[in-house]
Amino acid sequence: MNVNPEQVRNELMAHGLTRAELNNDPILQFQQWYELAINTELPEPNAMSLCTVNAQHQPSVRTVLLKLYDARGFVFFTNYHSRKAQEIEQNSQVALLFPWVALARQVQINGCAERISTAESLKYFITRPRGSQLGAWSSPQSQVIRSRSILEAKVAEIAQKFAQGEVPLPEFWGGYRVIPERIEFWQGRDSRLHDRFCYRRNSTNPDCWEIDRLAP
C-alpha cells in the first residue's frame, strides 16, 4: 500500500474530530483509529507507553507492545519479575499512551492492570518466534547483569535445554490486561486548538460510557 502519512495527517488535522462521529463504544473507536495507524504503515503502531507507580509513589514509564485488545481491555506481555510487573503488583493503577505523532493523534488510557490467565498467556506464547520464546526464559528482566556475554550464554544454555521439543511457557512470564476506566482520544488541530474527547465509565452501569469534550 502506497500511503503518504503526511497527507493523512494534514487531512485529519483539517477535518478534526466531532462528537457526532464518535462511536459510543470506546473500544470500537480505538479499533477505528488503530486500523488507520496500521493502514498508514506507521512503524510499530502497537507501541504504547506504559506508566506504573510503585509503593513509594514514584512513577516510571517504558514502551511495550499491545498484543491483544477486546471489550475487556488491552493486553501486553512481560516477565512477572520485571520492574513493571513488580510495580503493578504494588499498585495496579496504570496509564497507557499510544503516541501516533505522525498522524497528530494520541490515545490515552487509564485503568487497572491484572494478570490474564495462564491459558491466555500460553495461547499467545506459542505464536511467538522460537528466539523470542528462548529469550523469555533467558533474561532476568530488569535485574543487573555484568555483561551481554552472560545473557548470550544463558540463551545458548536454554536453547540446548529445549533443543528436542517445543519451548514451554515460563511460569514467570505472561500477560497483563489493562481494564480501562478512562480513554481519551486526542486529535491535533491548527493553532493548538486540538479536539479532545474523554470516555469515562458510568458509575452505576460499567457497560456504559459518558463522553465529554475537553478543552485543548
- Residues taking part in catalysis: 192
Burial of 204 (0-12, 13-18, 19+ CB in 10 A): exposed
Report the candidate in 71, 75, 107, 73 with the shortest Cα–Cα distance to residue 198. Answer: 107
Alpha helices in 16-129 (DSSP H): 26-39, 83-90, 118-125
Question: Rounded distance, CA 207 to CA 197, Å?
Answer: 18
Q: What's the one-letter identity of residue 138?
A: S
Q: How many CB atoms lie within 10 A of CB 87?
A: 22
Q: Give the three-state DSSP class for 118.
A: helix
Residue with cell 529469550: 135
